[in-house]
Amino acid sequence: MPDGRRVVTGVRLPAYAATWQHVRADPAAKEHRTAMVILLAIPMFLLFLAIEAISYRYRPDDDELGYELRDTGTSLSMGIGSRVWGLLWDVLGLAVFTAIALATPLHVEMTSVWAWIVLLFGEDLCYYVFHRVSHRCRFFWASHVIHHSSQRYNFSTALRQSWTSVFGFVFWIPLVALGFPVWAVYLQQSISLLYQFFLHTERVDRLWAPVEYVMNTPSHHRVHHGVDKQYLDKNYAGILILWDRMFGTFEPEVVRPTYGITTQLTTFNPFRVAYHEWYAMGHDLRHATSWGARFKHVFAPPGWKPSTATVTP
């Protein structure tokens, strides 16, 4: 390499060499292709949302199943807002990633099957860590709680995303430091998000046992959205449920979960949904009596109180 960086390679794919050579030579093309994955996915999201909503018209036996107009409207509003605000937060993440990419002596050529496989596993592990911290640290939970705030579970729930995910990108810094191109990391993140959209449904029961053992599935992710005692803080997986099995956070679906958060919201106002936990955190900080308590109100698990050792995520 002209810049003296070490090149990490695997088994090359000659048939795709010309295509990837063009992508590598055009940084704008890299970012453009990554952004287009999400943009082109929006019509798909809406299509599957409509199909699922229509399918529930033939199962009117359970009022808790399917869609509720105000809840769906809030989820869609949160999704739109997350993309608007996300553009600002992405600028910060991209700047940090770019600086690290320029500084690292490593460089992974994405012309290898193995490079993409390693990136898939690496990005999924980064997501697992990010997701677990987002439930166990109130600072990150204040953003992530939005995604769990719906008491329904359907495709629209997948679109209920945070407006304040400013520093989430830090969990993917190791991939860039190891030499994976920034565009490839963003692309794999996009693939993971697309995959996770389809996990948010009650229309799919358990899948084939080997698939359930390795992959994150709708059954596994329903557990993650449950507020039942046996389901709290379980199944953080993105694509692979293997991380939860390895790190002791796996829980199978036994009974239908109760969805939402431990203190359920009684509003469909998008602004209250987006900022309610930040407001609660500010209230706790104002009334804290020591700097230790203030620190824990921000960085301890959700539900920490200075008078007790009880933690209620």
Contact 108, 98 (CB under 8 A): no
Higher pLDDT, 85 or 188: 188
- Kind plus residue range of the DSSP H or E element containing 62: none
pTM of the model: 0.85
Quote the DSSP letter at residue 233. T
Neighbours of 63 (CB within 10 A): 7
Does 215 have pLDDT greater than 90?
A: yes
- Apex CA 102: angle with CA 97 and CA 105, to 5°? 115
Tokens of 20: 């990837």
Query: pLDDT tens digit string along 99-139?
Result: 999 999 999 999 999 999 999 999 999 999 999 999 999 99
The pLDDT score that the predictor gives to residue 6 is: 44
Average pLDDT over residues 232-244: 97
Contact 122, 261 (CB under 8 A): no
Instruction: Measure the CA–CA gap between 232 and 244, rounded to whole angstroms.
Output: 13
Task: Please measure the distance between the N-terminal and C-terminal CA atoms of the chain and give it in whole angstroms.
Answer: 49
State the chain's mean pLDDT as an integer.
87
Instruction: Measure the CA–CA gap between 276 and 10, rounded to whole angstroms.
Output: 48
Query: pLDDT tens digit string along 32-81?
Result: 555 556 667 778 888 999 999 988 876 655 566 789 999 999 999 999 99
Kindly list the domain boundaries of the chain, sorted by start residue.
6-247
Higher pLDDT, 162 or 12: 162
Instruction: Measure the CA–CA gap between 260 and 152, rounded to whole angstroms.
Output: 7
Tokens of 287: 């009334």
Query: pLDDT tens digit string along 18-32?
Result: 443 444 444 445 555
